Each structure stands twice: as C-alpha cells, then as structure tokens.
C-alpha cells in the first residue's frame, strides 16, 4: 500500500511539474512577443555625439506629430527623450551674457577658422553690445570645438576678448550643425528669453536695426511666428556618400516638410519654447534648417514665406535696404557695404516707403 501511494504521488508531482513548465513557457512566449512588438513600433536609430567625437546609438520611440494636441495617454505610450541639446553646453569657455527679454537674439552659425567673418560682423551690423543696458538685439556666434590645439586656444582668447562666442562641447562639423543650432536655441531660451530669435550664418548680412524696428512697430504676428525663405518639395538624400545623407531609420518620408532656408529664419518666443521642447523627442540629422522645419510641423507652426530673406547676394541697390532683412552670400568686405547702405538708405531714399509687412 505504501508503494502504491508513492507511485500515485509521483504521477501527481509529474503532472504538476508539466503544468508549471507549460505556464512558464507560455509566460516566456508572451514576454518575447511583447518585447518584439515594442522594438518594432516605429523605431528610430539616433547617433549621439560624444565629447571625443565618437557616437553611440539607442532605439527610441518619438512623440506623435501634433504637439499641442497631446494627451497624457500619448506621452504614456513609451515616449522617451532622444537627446537633450542643453547637455552639449558644457564648455570651459564662459557663455555670453545677455539682457533678458530683449527684442531680437541673433544666433550666427560660424566655424572655428572663420575669424575674419566674425570680425566683419562685429564691426558692422553686429555692433550691438556697446551698451548692454540700451540695446534691442544681441549677436552671438555658435561655434563647436576643434581638434586643432592652436586654433582652440585662439577661440578661447577670442571669447575672452569679445564675449560673444557660444561654444559647445561637440566637434565643429557639418554633421553636428543641428546640435549646434539646437544648443543655441536651448541656451537662448534659458538664459536670455528673447521676444524673437533669428538664426543665420556668418556669410549673411542682417539689417539688424531695421529688423528690430520692424518687429517692435510693424510686425502683426507676435506669436506662432516662423518666417523665412521657403524651401519646398525637397527630397531626402539617401546616398551615404553625401554630407546631406539622412537614413530611413532617422527620418522615413522621402520628402522634407516645407521649411525656411537656414540662411535666415526668425521665430517668436512661444515657437522657440515649443521647438526646444520638441527637439528632445526627434532624432537629429545634419540638415539643421530641414530639422527646424520638422519641429515646426510637429508643433503645428506654419511657415510664413517671406521675400525679405534673400538667398543670393545680387548686388542690391541702396534703396533695397529699406526692405531687405537678411542677405545670404556676403563676403567680409561686402558686410561693410551692406551696413553702409542700411544706414544711408533712410536718408537718401526718402521718396520710397519703408516696408511694413513680411512681403
């Protein structure tokens, strides 16, 4: 009898063990399927640029498109931060100072070896910081690190002398251009809180006095402003040999949304806030102006196409400077001429009315 009981107990134990194994197997299968589902739900590959120039990758899920119409449920759907532009601001070079709440912050992308371009701007339209308490605009140059020790030392001395270099801890390269601009936007929002921000390049002339006068007196679009020269129907380049290459994992559509040329675009304070927030959730790619257009689309900000941003320097006449706000393709020598025209046009073009709208 004891022998029979032992056999029965053995059978019962085996049944229990078999049932437990089935439960474990089922659990493992469901876990695997769930993990596969998470990894395959519109993943993007984002390359994070380290201090040493190397990159590391991780998979993320981005936020839905309409940023203003988000619900808490949308953010709960495994949305995570891709990167934080603010983290690229750690630098041994002190950041520029600025007057909080000024009318216009002008952020100029510049390369480490473009000293002559910066010098020409400082001596012309960028001459805004003579009296920090009585200014309506501030010009700051965005520059990354260089691997050339002599050049890096020269940049640090330039920063000490002029106090207008915003240097990030990324290597200065075209691939890091979006990081440069987003770092500049993040710093400007946190430190200066400008009413408007203009992003431009160091080969551009900015009619800074006319620009601030227009923004203060004539501009009727005080919020949701994103204005510049519109670039439309531009195909995404998939050729890995191109410096404009964007992978499908980073950005899947074959065409970029309409965006303003990086030669010059202006955004209002509320748009700056929205873009700085949204940038953290979208994988960065090298074409910074297209990336900014993507941020605008993600936050429901329409582009205001304006001819007052000229993509080409066409030897504009004196009276054209009653109208032009930004001119692209300007040499250091031409900066002097453009600045002189911007001053003289108000005296010598009295017969022509100054432009009072974006078009």
Q: What is the pLDDT of residues 58-104, one digit of tens each?
A: 332 333 333 333 333 333 333 566 777 877 776 677 889 988 999 99
CA distances from 279 to 108, 275, 289, 317 (A): 19, 6, 13, 39
pLDDT in tens, 103-116: 999 999 999 999 99
Angle between helices 149-162 and 115-122 (to 10 degrees): 10
Asked if residues 287 and 197 have their Cβ atoms less than 8 Å apart, the reply is no
Question: Maximum Cα–Cα distance for the chain, whole Å?
Answer: 121
pTM: 0.77
Q: How many domains does the chain have?
A: 2
Last residue of a domain, one of 260, 282, 303: 303
Does 276 reside within a domain? yes
Last residue of a domain, one of 255, 272, 303: 303
Domain membership of residue 4 as a residue range = 1-38
29 and 94 part of one domain: no
Q: Please, which pLDDT band fits residue 352 given cuts at 50, 70 and 90?
A: confident
Asked if residues 212 and 136 have their Cβ atoms less than 8 Å apart, the reply is yes
pLDDT in tens, 192-233: 999 999 999 999 999 999 999 999 999 999 999 999 999 999
Does 177 reside within a domain? yes
Buried b (16+ CB within 10 A) or exposed e, 247-260: eeebbeeeebbbbb
142 and 275 part of one domain: yes
Does 181 reside within a domain? yes
Chain centroid offset of residue 193 CA: 16
Q: How many residues does the chain have?
A: 359
Q: What was the pLDDT predicted at 19?
A: 44
31 and 101 part of one domain: no
């Amino acid at each position: 009898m004891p022998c029979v009981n032992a056999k029965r107990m053995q059978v019962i134990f085996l049944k229990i063990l078999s049932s437990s194994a089935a439960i474990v197997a089922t659990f493992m299968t469901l876990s695997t399927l769930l993990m596969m589902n998470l990894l395959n739900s519109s993943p993007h590959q984002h390359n994070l640029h380290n201090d040493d120039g190397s990159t590391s990758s991780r998979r993320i899920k981005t936020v839905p498109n309409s940023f203003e119409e988000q619900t808490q449920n949308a953010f709960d759907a495994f949305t995570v931060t891709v990167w934080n532009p603010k983290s690229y601001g750690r630098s041994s070079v002190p950041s520029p100072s600025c007057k909080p709440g000024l009318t216009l912050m002008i952020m100029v992308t510049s390369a480490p070896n473009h000293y002559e371009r910066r010098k020409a701007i400082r001596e012309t339209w960028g001459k805004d910081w003579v009296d920090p308490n009585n200014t309506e605009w501030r010009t700051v140059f965005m520059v990354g690190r260089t691997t050339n020790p002599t050049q890096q030392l020269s940049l640090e001395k330039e920063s000490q002398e002029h106090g207008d270099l915003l240097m990030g801890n990324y290597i200065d390269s075209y691939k890091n251009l979006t990081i440069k601009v987003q770092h500049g936007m993040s710093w400007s929002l946190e430190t200066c809180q400008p009413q408007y921000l203009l992003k431009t390049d160091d080969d551009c002339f900015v009619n800074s006095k006319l620009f601030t006068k227009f923004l203060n007196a004539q501009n009727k679009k005080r919020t949701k402003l994103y204005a510049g020269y519109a670039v439309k129907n531009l195909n995404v380049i998939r050729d890995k040999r191109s410096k404009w290459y964007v992978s499908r994992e980073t950005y899947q559509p074959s065409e970029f949304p309409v965006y303003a040329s990086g030669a010059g675009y202006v955004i209002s304070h509320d748009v700056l806030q929205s873009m700085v927030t949204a940038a953290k959730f979208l994988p960065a790619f090298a074409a910074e102006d297209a990336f900014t257009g993507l941020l605008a689309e993600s936050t429901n900000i329409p582009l205001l196409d304006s001819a007052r941003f000229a993509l080409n320097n066409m030897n504009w006449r004196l009276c054209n400077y009653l109208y032009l706000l930004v001119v692209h393709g300007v040499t250091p020598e031409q900066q002097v001429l453009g600045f002189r025209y911007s001053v003289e046009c108000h005296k010598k073009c009295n017969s022509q009315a100054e432009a009072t709208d974006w078009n």
